[in-house]
Structure 1
Amino acid sequence: MRRSVTALITALALPLTAAAPAHAAGPADRFADLLVKKVKGANVEEHLRAFQAIATANGGNRAAGTTGYDASRDYVADKLRRAGYKVTLDPVEFVENWTENSPPALTETAPGRRAYVPKQDFFAFEPSPAGDVTAQVQGVDLTLPPAATPSSTSGCETSDFDGFVAGRIALVQRGTCAFSQKVRNAGAAGAAAIIVFNEGQEGRTEAEQLDIGEWRAGIPMVYADFAVGERLAGMKDATVRVTVDATVALGTDHNVIAESRTGDPRNVVMLGAHLDSVPAGPGINDNGSGSAAILEVAEEMARLPVKNQVRFSFWAAEELGLLGSDQYVAALPQTERDRIRLYLNFDMVASPNFAYKLYDGDDSDNTGASAGPPGSAQIEEQFETFYGSRDLPTVGTDFDGRSDYGPFIAVGIPAGGIFTGAEGVKTAAEAKVFGGTAGTAYDACYHKACDTIGNVNGTALDVNSDAIADSAARFAFDLRSIPRRTAPVKGGGD
């Protein structure tokens, strides 16, 4: 879908947007132009300074389960109430504390006898529930030998578990969706435990201790080296014992959900950004930037009429495994899911060494995960049109499962949005297009204490806030480009 803007960029083989063709302005255009003019980068920055002040006053962060998160929640909820929205604090469970009482165990009991070394060959996922299971292992949609690039979808779909025998231990390969999604699908299929092993490419062979925020399946879960998984997959009727000795203590946070009091409730346009930081720092780019941008859009949109109902969501506990968005979507009955015509996600929109990245709704990049649900391509195209109107290039970014769009696309809700890069390294081709420094991270302070008010690019923040306002306004007024879903996605939801 993206097109070249110059011969140089064509030579670099980067898929970029071109300026949109001129067309007569309609009501949606006028509504979008008005909202874009009202949304000010200076006001977005004011919200960022408030998030920084909250973190500074509360131990340096705004992480789930802390007073810093509570103060961020209250700040956002107060602004939205004052703007006139119907605001709901939606409870979210998360693991407040996980204690590994003794080392985990992973042992072959048949046909061979082999004990793997804990914290070397494998780790217990944090926060794995306790359990002691001995059962036959069953591989789930494995790609062996592994593909040249990460692409496994093992365990990502409920259909992967068609034919799975309840009571067995699921053997699943790392890949293109969140570990938590694999665990939930295994639990729903009746697995007694789950072994996830690394995918097998260079840099993806060894296991490590990972916090995936998932405990609700209620089964012991471990993460193993690729060599362990490959061995178990190659054994006939392998039986293993998986033991995790741990204690899980739960806490509660809240999503902030704000809904317009006008607009057709049968057609909901939903925007979201996660509000929590990691414990290491204040999280001003990740993800104060996305939260501040949609908060400013919400405040200005509240003063304008909308044809379709608009819902703004500020997610809790994203950094613990997309818990806020995942629990929210899981709790919605199908009739409520069907009201949500699309979901727009904004997770890091002001990275210091930024690129303008749009979620690849049509899979035109042909990398990693497949296209989003029907309607996702049209969302991507709408964002492309905005950047093209300003002669700004964009590149694609994959639906890799790392942000809050994941639970929405899993149940067939079309999604899209903007991302300016995290710990990934900016390429030389991108530096030619967007400026900045090649060979360094888009955000060198990603998940670090230095993700402060000084860690944002003001130009990216301002441009992306306008882009959010433009698409939000257009979809709030006109959803004709987004196809209606006629049936729930097979296996969708928890």
Structure 2
Amino acid sequence: MGRQLFLRGALGLVAIGLLALAQAFSTERMQADLQALLSQGPRVAGLPATTAAGEYLAAELRKVGYTVEFQPFTYSRTRDQGSSLLVGTTSFPVSSVAGSPGRRVEGPLAVVPGAGLAADFADLNLQGAIAVVRRGGIPGLEKARLAAERGAVGLILLTEEPSGTRFTFGGNSPIPGVTLSQSDGAGLFSQAGTRAVLDVRIVTEEVQGRNVIARRSSQNPLVIVGAHYDSVPGSPGANDNASGTVTVLELARQLADSPLAAQIWFLFFDGEEDGLWGSRRFVEQNPEIVRGLKGMLNLDMVGVNVNGTLGIGGSGELRALADCNALQVACGSAPGGGSDHVPFAQAGVPVLFFFRGLDPNYHRPTDTLADPVLMAQTGQVVRGILERLLR
């Protein structure tokens, strides 16, 4: 009986601890932050809405004692000006991929089999052809380079998302590339050899971006926790990625008076949607800081429960620090690329990527909702990892 009472007491203490941790993340305050960001409109890098969002983040962080600075950077961005694809006599609603050169090319369609992985390109002769390939598995830029190496003059990426959804190569493609939804372009797989004309029309503009950096100490950090706060044109970006931004902001509030805060920098990246520019520039300009990091934790799209789990990808060593069971949070896996942890991983930093999947409103005007409860759960998991990593 005494042992049973002890176990009940212990379980009660655990329950109380979980409740206290949950209450530490104010879903009401997170909802207010979310609405403050959405009220600015689409947060396209370099435009006034993004500037206002950065100022909001800085003001909130300063309220709880952080030193905040902006890291400015510039880069070139391309904008679609009416790209087109004509296959035989049929036109298709394509969109240029950011990082594509502007060019008109003609050639027969050539189909890349399978999922379009590196091995699927191995025995192909794409000389003078416009390649059709499924998006995913490996970065689109790698697919473009593989196609160009085999002689292709253009690339069509078929995506699971609707036509018009904006994507980026994350770098400069050697050949023009466009996206097209699988529902609109599925018939292309049966038209190998058909003459096609791909006309990628873009304009290039210089963009001034700004990362927001918050710290409690002048010493270099051991860990960076980050999220991108920009969105794509036409999209309010609630889940992508006000959800990650608000979660990092609330986590920063919760840790402001903790000894952990002296070892962490909180970064809010700009220019992610145009090719991870904010995180790339931070890594390039701060090599000493990057070399000393024990980890970089990145939150992107954590406010919609697409997969039924909180996906965590990246370093196995860091992943082992996530005690999801104790927090009663269902955790699963996440893909390895596509967001601001990538430049850090390429620099040799152990990373974790927190991601709940691509929801149906991804990069659309309907991306207006994110659940603060899911965001708070994500913040709890991240906090637990930080406590174990930095103890």
Q: State the TM-score, normalizing by the size of structure 2.
A: 0.71
Pick from 288, 292, 295 the counterpart of residue 339 of structure 1.
Answer: 292
Contact 1:122-1:208 within 8 A present in 2 as well: yes
SS at match of 1:318: coil
Q: Is the 8 A contact 1:61 1:283 kept in 2?
A: yes
Shift of 1:347: 1.8
Alignment partner of 2:311: what SS? strand
For residues 252-267 of structure 1, what are the structure 2 equivalents within 5 Å? Answer: 252-261=208-217, 265=220
Q: Is contact 1:129-1:247 (8 Å) kept?
A: no
TM superposition shift of 1:327: 4.6
Residue 469 of structure 1: how far off its partner (Å)? 1.9
Residue 15 (structure 2) pairs with residue 78 (structure 1)? no
Q: Residues 73-472 of structure 1 correspond to what in structure 2 (within 5 A)?
A: 73-82=54-63, 83-93=65-75, 95=77, 97-100=79-82, 103=84, 119-120=91-92, 124-125=96-97, 128-131=100-103, 144=113, 146=114, 150=115, 152-154=116-118, 173=133, 174-180=135-141, 182-183=143-144, 194-198=154-158, 208-209=163-164, 211-214=166-169, 217=172, 219-223=174-178, 244-261=200-217, 265=220, 268-306=222-260, 309-329=263-283, 331-332=284-285, 336-351=289-304, 355-359=308-312, 361=313, 372=314, 376-383=315-322, 385=323, 387-390=324-327, 392-399=328-335, 401-423=337-359, 446-447=362-363, 449=365, 451-452=367-368, 455-472=369-386
Question: Aligned-pair distance for 1:74?
Answer: 0.8
- Kindly state the Cα deviation for residue 388 of structure 1 after the two structures are TM-superposed: 1.4
Alpha-carbon distance in 1 for matches of 2:110, 2:342: 26
- 1:349–1:461 contact (8 Å) kept in structure 2: yes
CA distance in 2, matches of 1:104, 1:293: 41
- Tell me: CA distance 1:51–1:240, structure 2 relative to 1, closer, same or farther (3 Å): closer
Query: Could you list the runs of 5+ residues in structure 1 that have no partner in the other structure?
Result: 1-21, 23-32, 106-114, 362-371, 425-444, 479-494
Q: Answer whether contact 2:71 2:211 (CA < 8 A) is retained.
A: yes
Letter of the structure 2 residue corresponding to residue 379 of structure 1:
L
Q: Which amino acid aligns with 1:195?
A: L
- Offset from partner CA, 1:361-396 (integer Å, 9 cap, x none): 4xxxxxxxxxx4xxx11222211x2x2123x25242
Question: 8 Å contact 1:116–1:122 — kept in the other structure?
Answer: no
Cα distance between partner residues in 1 of 2:350 and 2:130: 30
Contact 1:276–1:315 (8 Å) recurs in 2: yes
Partner of 2:5: none
Aligned to 1:340, the other structure's residue is in SS state coil
**Could you tell me which of 17, 25, 28 is aligned with 1:41?**
25
Give the direction of change, closer, same or farther, for the CA distance of 1:316–1:395 in structure 2 (3 Å limit).
Answer: same
The whole-number CA distance in structure 2 between the counterparts of 1:99 and 1:297 is: 40
Q: Say which SS state the counterpart of residue 465 (structure 1) adopts.
A: helix
Name the SS of the counterpart of 2:301 in structure 1: coil
Question: Percent identity of the aligned residues?
Answer: 23
Offset of residue 71 of structure 1: 1.0
Which whole-Å CA distance do the structure 2 matches of 1:279 and 1:348 have between them? 17
- How much does 1:99 deviate? 1.9
TM-score when normalising by structure 1 = 0.58
- Aligned partner letter, 1:466: Q
Shift of 1:188: 11
- Cα pair 2:311 2:357 within 8 Å, conserved: no
Distance 2:58 2:149 in 1: 38
2:308 alignment partner, SS class: coil
Find the residue that maps to 1:388 and give its secondary structure.
coil
Distance 1:295-1:314 versus aligned 2 partners, 3 A rule: same
Counterpart Cα distance in 1 of 2:148 and 2:265:
30
CA contact (8 A) 1:358 1:397 kept: yes
Aligned length: 367
* Counterpart Cα distance in 2 of 1:118 and 1:92: 39
2:4 aligned partner = none
Give the drift of 1:416. 1.9
- What is the Cα deviation at residue 98 of structure 1? 3.2
Task: Give the Cα separation in 1 of the matches to 2:154 and 2:168.
Answer: 15
Task: Please give the alpha-carbon distance, in whole angstroms, between the structure 1 residues aligned to 2:338 and 2:374.
Answer: 21
Relative distance call for 1:208 and 1:422 in structure 2 (3 A) is closer
Shift of 1:446: 4.9
Q: Could you tell me whether the CA contact under 8 Å between 1:51 and 1:72 is conserved in 2?
A: no
